[in-house]
Structures are given as structure tokens and as C-alpha cells.
């Protein structure tokens, strides 16, 4: 008979859970992009076929050392220590860690000790107090008060896993912040280096144009040439002057950017050497495993993936609220109206309790909370998809720009060699009295113009290398 009752109770309970589960609204969730949409093999294989890229090992954490510049390495390492964005990211990690500890604490029983004294006065409608007293004092000392929620539907466990996932996402965000900061420092550094080089080059161009203008002015006064050539040369002089003003302005802006990125608020301006270095003298060492592990190399993708996990756990927790909540409680202590008998055996008080709570009507609150959790999860998934598509585009664009800038560098290098040969021949002819000074100045202007173009191309090459490093995740280690 007892077994039959147990069987009937079990069947009724299962049917009850089935009815409750059937009350949970249905939903078609978003899904991550399939693997075939994230294939980079074609782009990487094309890059390996060019001299700009070689097959190399994974980049280390100090990936900026690839540029072989100790000053740049010092600036980046210093910036990673003092930049406020890094400090803020570290604070968010600590906050997420504490929130995970709070969520973890709910998984365990809570135990505490308490005591109290209560003064009670008998009323006319109250039952007789102990011993028929009209006025008495009750003392209580709780040695053990235990409460525990049975997490049968994994609500609390899902919330804990969600908090852990968010903590991992914050760690990945911290790595992404470091990567973006190092990239910004390197790009500002290379831009400043290039602008300073261009200032020197264009100062030489300005000197050559001004000397040419002086010679043409003499010829104009002698009636050898008309004013059109003179005005044209003067216009070129003013253009170079304007370019120098612009380069000086950009140089100061680059310095300001480096100061903002590297120096802490309590420090002064950043100190830079006179001659800035930095170069990419060898093919870019692209990891051969890139098409396979891009998802684990980029910290922003890893962060989005952890947030997807967090959102899914939040959905699971929201579903668990539709089921009964079962709590266990126990009390072991002493209770007596006489303080002298508080610790006697007769004053020992033992209480055990099990309670269940099922929310039958909440005016749609449970459904709304589940809808919020599902929508948030869908947002995380779509954000992950968008981040992944952007990552693929950034890798492809950076590879294209690096290969293109290398090809342009080869072209301008040949042009500089030809311009240098022309300048040497013209100078030799001038020394022998065969050519005039104007011919030498024109050859000088041609050579300096090619060097100015080469500086722009080298900057584009360095920037594209930094972009490629950032696009493939730098030296990020998913196991950190």
C-alpha cells in the first residue's frame, strides 16, 4: 500500500513538472555563424605566395619587438603599466570576480549564530503565558541556524556559471584593451617618426626651391625668362612651406597622443629620443595555424564567446524560476524564560523545516524575465557574429594593405635609385661646367620628392603591420 502511494505521488509530481514545463514560452534562439563563413584559408594562402609574408610561429606577448626598436618597446611597456584604461579593465575584472563569489555563496548552506532577550507582557486576549505570569522575559541563544535552498532546477548554479563566464569575458576585455593600447602607441609612434622624417626632407626641398627661385629671379631681372616660370616656382615654395606647417602640426598632435597613451595623469609630458627608429626589415611572420584558431587568438572574439555562454546560463536560470523552490532550515539552540536555566537540557530547542514555494500568478513577470534573458542571449550571439565578421574583414584588409605597401616600396625604391643616379650625374656635369645650377636643383627636388613618397609608403607599411598584429589578436594566450 505504501509503495502504491509512493508511485502515485511520483507520477503526480512528474505530471506536475510536465505541466509547469509546458507553461514556459517557446523561443527560436539566434545561432552563431557556421564555420564555413569564417574560413580564411584562401586569403592566407595567397599571402604566403607573396614575399611580404612568411610562415612563422605564434606571436609572443611582447609582439612589438618585431619592429626592433627599444624606444618603442619602452613606451608600450610603460603605457601598459600606467594607462587608466588598463586600470579600469583590471577593476572590472575584480568586480566580476567578487560578483562570481557572491553567486557561488548561494550554492552552499548559510550558518550563523544569534542571541536575544525578549520582554513580553500578557494581554487580555493572549493565552496564558508560561507559568501563568503576567510579565516575563524570554532569552534565546541560537547556536546553529542553518538555511539551504535545494537547487534542483540549477537556477543558482546557472547564475554562478553566468557570473564565471562574465569574469572570463572581462579578462578577455582586459587583453583586448592592452592590445588596442599597444597598437595605438605603435601607430602614433610611427606617425611621429614619419612626420619628423618628412619635415627634414621637405626642409631640403624648400631650400632647393628657394635657391631655384632666387636664380630664376636673377634671370627674370636680366630678361632671360618671363614672369610665368618665376610665379610657378614661388607657388611651389609656398606649397612646401604650407606642407611644413602641416607636418609640424601633425607632429605635435602625435606627441600629444603618445603622452595621453603612455603617461599617467600625475606625470608630465613623455620624453622621446631625437631620432626615432622602428622598421619591419623581414617578411611578416604570419602563423600557419591562423585559419584554424582565429576564434581563440583574438581577445574580443573570446570575450563575446564568454558572454554568449553567460547569456545561455541566464536563460537556464530564468527557466528554473517556473519550478518550485524548496528550502531547508534547521535551528539548534536554547530558549528559556529564566536566564539561569538557559543552558539546561530542558531549554534545548531543535527545529527542522522544509518549505516549498511555487509562483502561480505573477502577472507575467516570470515570462517577461525569461523574455529578457532570451533577448539578451540573442544580442550576445549577434554581437559575437558581428565581431567575427569584422575580424575576418580586418585580417583580410590588413594582409591586402601590407602586400600592397610592400609592392609600392619596391617601386619607389627603384625610383629613388634612378633619381639618385640622375642627381649624381647632374652634379658631376655641374662640377665640370657642362650643366647649370638649375638642373642640379631640379634633380635634387626630384630625389627628395621620391624620398618623401617613400616615407609615406613606409608609414603605410608599418601601420598595416600593426593592423595585422591587432587583427590576428597579437600575443593573446587563451590559456591565461
For residue 316, give the nearest of 455, 435, 160 by alpha carbon. Answer: 160
- Predicted confidence at residue 96, as pLDDT, reads 95
Residues 57 and 289: beta-carbon distance below 8 Å: no
| The C-alpha cell that represents 242 in the structure block | 604650407
What does the angle CA 299 – CA 302 – CA 303 come to, to the nearest 5 degrees?
85
Angle between helices 299-320 and 155-221 (to 10 degrees): 150
Is residue 381 a contact partner of residue 30, using CB atoms and an 8 Å limit? Answer: yes
Residues of the chain with CATH 2.20.200.10: 110-150+325-357
φ, ψ dihedrals at 121, nearest 5°: -115, 130
**198 contact partners, CB below 8 Å, separation of at least 6:** 247, 452, 455, 456
CATH code given to domain 27-107+154-323+365-471: 1.20.1600.10
Half-sphere exposure of 30 (CA within 13 A, CB side): 19
User: What pLDDT, on the 0 to 100 scale, is given for residue 345?
Assistant: 64
Q: How far apart are CA 75 and CA 262, in angstroms?
A: 6
Q: In whole angstroms, what is the distance from residue 138 CA to residue 140 CA?
A: 7
φ, ψ at 450 (rounded to 5°): -70, -40
CA-to-CA distance for 348 and 229, rounded, in angstroms? 113
Q: What is the dihedral of CA 280, 284, 285, 286, to 10 degrees?
A: 150
Residue reference for cell 582565429: 294
- Residue ranges matching CATH 1.20.1600.10 in the chain: 27-107+154-323+365-471
What pLDDT is attached to residue 364?
A: 84
Q: Write the CB contacts of 267 (distance below 8 Å, at least 6 apart in sequence).
A: 82
Side-chain half-sphere of 129: how many Cα atoms within 13 Å?
14
What is the chain's pLDDT, residue by residue, as a tens digit (480 residues)?
455 554 555 444 444 444 444 455 666 666 666 655 556 666 677 777 777 777 766 666 677 788 888 888 888 888 888 889 999 999 999 999 999 999 999 888 887 776 666 665 555 555 555 555 555 555 555 556 678 888 888 888 999 999 999 999 999 999 999 999 999 999 999 999 999 999 999 999 999 999 988 988 888 888 887 888 888 989 999 999 999 999 999 999 998 888 888 875 555 556 666 666 666 666 777 766 665 566 667 899 989 999 999 999 999 998 888 888 888 887 777 676 666 666 666 667 777 788 888 778 778 888 888 889 999 999 999 999 898 888 888 888 888 898 899 899 999 999 999 999 999 999 999 888 888 899 999 999 999 999 999 999 999 999 998 998 888 888 655 554
Of 301, 313, 376, 266, which is closest to residue 155 (Cα–Cα)?
A: 313
CB atoms within 10 A of CB 434: 10
Per-residue cell: 47: 599571402
Does domain 110-150+325-357 bear CATH number 2.20.200.10?
Answer: yes
**Helix, strand, coil distribution of the chain in percent, nearest 5:** 65, 10, 20
CB neighbours of 105 closer than 8 A, spacing ≥ 6?
A: none
162 and 320 Cβ atoms separated by less than 8 Å: no
Nearest by Cα to 295 from 382, 377, 385? 385
pTM over 0.85: no
Q: Which set of grid coordinates corresponds to residue 188? A: 602614433
Amino acid at each position: 500500500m505504501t509503495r502504491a502511494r509512493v508511485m502515485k505521488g511520483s507520477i503526480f509530481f512528474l505530471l506536475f513538472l510536465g505541466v509547469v514545463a509546458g507553461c514556459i514560452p517557446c523561443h527560436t534562439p539566434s545561432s552563431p555563424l557556421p564555420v564555413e563563413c569564417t574560413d580564411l584559408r584562401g586569403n592566407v594562402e595567397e599571402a604566403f605566395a607573396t614575399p611580404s609574408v612568411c610562415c612563422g610561429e605564434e606571436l609572443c606577448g611582447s609582439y612589438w619587438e618585431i619592429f626592433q626598436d627599444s624606444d618603442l618597446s619602452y613606451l608600450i611597456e610603460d603605457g601598459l603599466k600606467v594607462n587608466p584604461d588598463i586600470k579600469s579593465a583590471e577593476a572590472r575584472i575584480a568586480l566580476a570576480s567578487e560578483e562570481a563569489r557572491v553567486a557561488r555563496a548561494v550554492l552552499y548552506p548559510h550558518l550563523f549564530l544569534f542571541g536575544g532577550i525578549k520582554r513580553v507582557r500578557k494581554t487580555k486576549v493572549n493565552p496564558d503565558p508560561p507559568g501563568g505570569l503576567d510579565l516575563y522575559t524570554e532569552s534565546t541563544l541560537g547556536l546553529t541556524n542553518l538555511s539551504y535552498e535545494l537547487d534542483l532546477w540549477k537556477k543558482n548554479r546557472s547564475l554562478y556559471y553566468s557570473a564565471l563566464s562574465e569574469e572570463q569575458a572581462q579578462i578577455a576585455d582586459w587583453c583586448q584593451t592592452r592590445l588596442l593600447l599597444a597598437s595605438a602607441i605603435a601607430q602614433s609612434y610611427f606617425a611621429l617618426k614619419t612626420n619628423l622624417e618628412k619635415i627634414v626632407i621637405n626642409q631640403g626641398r624648400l631650400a632647393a626651391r628657394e635657391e631655384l627661385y632666387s636664380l630664376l629671379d636673377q634671370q627674370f631681372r636680366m630678361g632671360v625668362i618671363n614672369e610665368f616660370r618665376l610665379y610657378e616656382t614661388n607657388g611651389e615654395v609656398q606649397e612646401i612651406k604650407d606642407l611644413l606647417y602641416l607636418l609640424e602640426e601633425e607632429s605635435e598632435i602625435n606627441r600629444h597622443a603618445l603622452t595621453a597613451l603612455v603617461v599617467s595623469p600625475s606625470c608630465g609630458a613623455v620624453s622621446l629620443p631625437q631620432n626615432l627608429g622602428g622598421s619591419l626589415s623581414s617578411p611578416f611572420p604570419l602563423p600557419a595555424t591562423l585559419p584554424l584558431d582565429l576564434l581563440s587568438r583574438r581577445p574580443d572574439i573570446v570575450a563575446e564567446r564568454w558572454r554568449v555562454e553567460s547569456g545561455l546560463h541566464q536563460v537556464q536560470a530564468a527557466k528554473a524560476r517556473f519550478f518550485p523552490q524548496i528550502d531547508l532550515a534547521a535551528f539548534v539552540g536554547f530558549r528559556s524564560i529564566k536566564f539561569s536555566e538557559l543552558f539546561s537540557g530542558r531549554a534545548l530547542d531543535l527545529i527542522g523545516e522544509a518549505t516549498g514555494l511555487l509562483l502561480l500568478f505573477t502577472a507575467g513577470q516570470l515570462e517577461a524575465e525569461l523574455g529578457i534573458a532570451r533577448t539578451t542571449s540573442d544580442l550576445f550571439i549577434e554581437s559575437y557574429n558581428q565581431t567575427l565578421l569584422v575580424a575576418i574583414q580586418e585580417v583580410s584588409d590588413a594582409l591586402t594593405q601590407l602586400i600592397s605597401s610592400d609592392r609600392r616600396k619596391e617601386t619607389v625604391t627603384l625610383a629613388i635609385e634612378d633619381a639618385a643616379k640622375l642627381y649624381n650625374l647632374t652634379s658631376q656635369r655641374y662640377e665640370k661646367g657642362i650643366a647649370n645650377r638649375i638642373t642640379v636643383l631640379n634633380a635634387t627636388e626630384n630625389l627628395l620628392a621620391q624620398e618623401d613618397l617613400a616615407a609615406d609608403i613606409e608609414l603605410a607599411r608599418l601601420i598595416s603591420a600593426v593592423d595585422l598584429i591587432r587583427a590576428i589578436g597579437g600575443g593573446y594566450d587563451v590559456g591565461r
